Copies of this chain bind each other. A is one copy, B any other.
């Protein structure tokens, strides 16, 4: 991956080529609901997905392709749950069930649940909150369509009908899938969905494809299943369609010891770890390659709504936010789902980054056939998400905010992340040495990706790429900041000659800590690469070290940068791993053999 020095990938230019066609409006949702009548769904009720989609709304579209040739043995030998099947008799009027082993809600020791949540339209100013209530028997008492009795009991693998309806509508509003028989099922989080998706499509010995740097959990989930991950080259705009085509076209089953892959795992927006976002055009090209090679696209999109305003630099004035929901939706890079005429996309959505990870609620959207396979697995493993989570989310998203309020919230989050990213980028401009480190401003997600020109390390090439990465990692920790090593994100591992990266996040750290954290890592880079520091250190420290150096006969010490960097008082934090690395590096420069000659003293041993 070779990021250009500083390219702003503007969302405007990305979406101009493509607008999600026939997008459902929030007004149309209201009409559809009115036409379909009130939703009545009790304990473990089956969800009528067709009704939630509007019975006739999608009949003009072609059906998804069938994926029988793509399912694994595990998936192909799944049968529907016999016990869940018996639930269909419960529809008979007056039926007394002595059948299912569902406990009585009398024995749920929760009578009422309440949550204080911010009011839609008041996210930015002084906080204004409302309190939502869910009672035990709200459904029977006509107070709500969902309650503790229902949510806290067993449910179906796809989650509760009440909340699934909202999810289906939201999905249609945002993505408007262009084929007829798309469907949604809740997940207990996208991490689990990756695990279950891999088991659905892959056999031991298979390969899947991903970006050349990718979410390590996906790789770590795949490896024990005997599934290997082949990284595909990227640039600053994400996965390269030509590289994808090339890998597939020239796949050598003997060299790879495995069949040609047909699952592409991709994080198209605010990719983890690179922060890159595929443009609409890029997605269309990749989708064309997917059609050519008949791929399933596993579109993992936790950061989709963390698309931000364009970065304008430290001194420019910010670009105003979208002025309407329509403008907001149009500003989003279109998803693979929105262009998926074949039904070959399994899209993973998550509330983790925009509501709360602890909810453990997400959903997938895919063809009915894929969703059915997923549900059959969920019914005998994860089951649906926590009913406590579903009830709280339903109260917030369906009853309190509605689709409108949720879009307001997403817009609010967009602006908050924009501010966080800008603080990080501004700090980078101030503190991080451009001679060594380069980056592209991310336009989405939580991550910033530093490229490090490690060949400028004083000890290169005597010291290996991996050792230099380790040295930098610990130097940054020594300075009191934690970044993630780029090599952790490489599914194939990295070797000599590959580029070096570090991942930073601006998601959670307080703004002032982001600045300080970047200042520290800038220092660490300066120190490791022995370059001039811009830091206003304490002159006494420098003088003391210089004096000590003179005392111990190290008159020819290379003081610029190195000693300046040290003068910041961070030396005491250096760990053991760092010690040897640094000693080597320096002596290589020919300026300082104090360490190897045993001339170290208080200050200098601390430095080493």
Residues of A near any B CB (own CB < 8 A):
73-75, 77-79, 81-83, 86, 89-90, 92, 94-118, 127, 129, 131, 151-155, 188-189, 191-192, 194-196, 216-217, 220-221, 223-226, 272, 352-361, 377, 379-392, 396, 409, 413, 416, 424, 446-447, 477, 480-484, 488, 503-509, 513-514, 516-518, 520-521
- Smallest CB separation, A431 vs chain B (Å): 12
Contact A382 B188 (CB under 8 A): yes
Given contacts A107-B416, A154-B358, contact A482 B81 (CB under 8 A): no
Partner of A358, one of B107, B155, B504: B155
How many copies of this chain does one complex carry? 2
Query: A220 contacts which chain B residues (CB < 8 A)?
Result: 78-79, 81-82, 379-380
Contact B386 A98 (CB under 8 A): no
Given contacts A152-B357, A482-B99, contact A78 B387 (CB under 8 A): no
Contact B482 A89 (CB under 8 A): yes
Specify which of A109, A194, A224 lies most central, judged by the most chain B CB atoms within 10 Å of its CB.
Answer: A109
Further contacts, 4 of them, CB under 8 A, given A77-B223, A99-B505, A358-B387: A83-B217, A103-B356, A108-B355, A113-B392
Query: A507 contacts which chain B residues (CB < 8 A)?
Result: 101-104
Given contacts A356-B153, A357-B103, contact A109 B409 (CB under 8 A): yes
Query: A82 contacts which chain B residues (CB < 8 A)?
Result: 216, 220, 488
Complexed CA–CA distance, A361 and B386 (Å): 8
Specify which of A117, A357, A391, A521 lies most central, judged by the most chain B CB atoms within 10 Å of its CB.
Answer: A357
Contact B101 A505 (CB under 8 A): yes
In the complex, 30 of the A-B residue pairs with CB atoms within 8 angstroms, ordered by the A residue number, are A77-B223, A78-B220, A79-B223, A89-B477, A95-B481, A95-B482, A97-B481, A97-B482, A97-B505, A98-B483, A99-B483, A99-B505, A100-B484, A100-B508, A101-B447, A102-B357, A103-B352, A103-B446, A104-B508, A107-B413, A113-B116, A114-B114, A152-B358, A153-B357, A154-B357, A188-B188, A191-B381, A192-B382, A361-B386, A389-B389
Complexed CA–CA distance, A243 and B380 (Å): 28
Query: A155 contacts which chain B residues (CB < 8 A)?
Result: 358
- Smallest CB separation, A158 vs chain B (Å): 14
Contact B113 A356 (CB under 8 A): no
Query: A513 contacts which chain B residues (CB < 8 A)?
Result: 96
Complexed CA–CA distance, A518 and B98 (Å): 9
Complexed CA–CA distance, A192 and B387 (Å): 16
Query: A360 contacts which chain B residues (CB < 8 A)?
Result: 188, 383-387
Complexed CA–CA distance, A225 and B203 (Å): 11
Contact B488 A78 (CB under 8 A): no
Query: A221 contacts which chain B residues (CB < 8 A)?
Result: 380-381
Given contacts A382-B188, A477-B92, contact A97 B359 (CB under 8 A): no
Query: A102 contacts which chain B residues (CB < 8 A)?
Result: 357, 505, 507-508
Complexed CA–CA distance, A583 and B482 (Å): 78
Partner of A272, one of B101, B113, B416, B424: B101
Query: A108 contacts which chain B residues (CB < 8 A)?
Result: 355-356
Consensus secondary structure, chain A interface: mixed
Specify which of A192, A196, A390 lies most central, judged by the most chain B CB atoms within 10 Å of its CB.
Answer: A192
Output the nearest chain B residue to A400 by Cβ-Cβ distance: B109
Query: A153 contacts which chain B residues (CB < 8 A)?
Result: 356-358
Contact B115 A353 (CB under 8 A): no
- Smallest CB separation, A122 vs chain B (Å): 11
Given contacts A224-B77, A359-B388, contact A504 B381 (CB under 8 A): no
Contact A107 B354 (CB under 8 A): yes
Specify which of A154, A380, A392, A484 lies most central, judged by the most chain B CB atoms within 10 Å of its CB.
Answer: A380
Query: A392 contacts which chain B residues (CB < 8 A)?
Result: 110, 113, 388
Complexed CA–CA distance, A503 and B86 (Å): 13
Query: A89 contacts which chain B residues (CB < 8 A)?
Result: 477, 482
Contact A358 B388 (CB under 8 A): yes
Output the nearest chain B residue to A573 by Cβ-Cβ distance: B92
Query: A111 contacts which chain B residues (CB < 8 A)?
Result: 116-118, 127, 129
- Smallest CB separation, A395 vs chain B (Å): 10
Contact A191 B380 (CB under 8 A): yes
Q: Which 9 pairs show the lowest CB-CB distances between chains A and B?
A: A358-B387, A386-B386, A152-B358, A96-B517, A195-B381, A99-B482, A152-B356, A112-B116, A98-B504
Complexed CA–CA distance, A485 and B562 (Å): 79
Specify which of A90, A127, A387 lies most central, judged by the most chain B CB atoms within 10 Å of its CB.
Answer: A387
- Smallest CB separation, A504 vs chain B (Å): 4
Complexed CA–CA distance, A415 and B59 (Å): 55
Complexed CA–CA distance, A385 and B361 (Å): 11
Output the nearest chain B residue to A189 by Cβ-Cβ distance: B383
Given contacts A82-B488, A195-B381, A389-B389, contact A356 B110 (CB under 8 A): yes
Complexed CA–CA distance, A521 and B95 (Å): 12
Contact B86 A224 (CB under 8 A): no
Query: A504 contacts which chain B residues (CB < 8 A)?
Result: 98-99
Contact B381 A508 (CB under 8 A): no
Complexed CA–CA distance, A484 and B84 (Å): 11
Output the nearest chain B residue to A474 by Cβ-Cβ distance: B89
Contact B385 A386 (CB under 8 A): yes
Complexed CA–CA distance, A116 and B109 (Å): 8
Contact A386 B413 (CB under 8 A): no
Output the nearest chain B residue to A133 by Cβ-Cβ distance: B114
Complexed CA–CA distance, A296 and B116 (Å): 47
Complexed CA–CA distance, A79 and B82 (Å): 36
Contact B381 A514 (CB under 8 A): no
Contact A481 B96 (CB under 8 A): yes
Contact A110 B117 (CB under 8 A): yes
- Smallest CB separation, A410 vs chain B (Å): 11
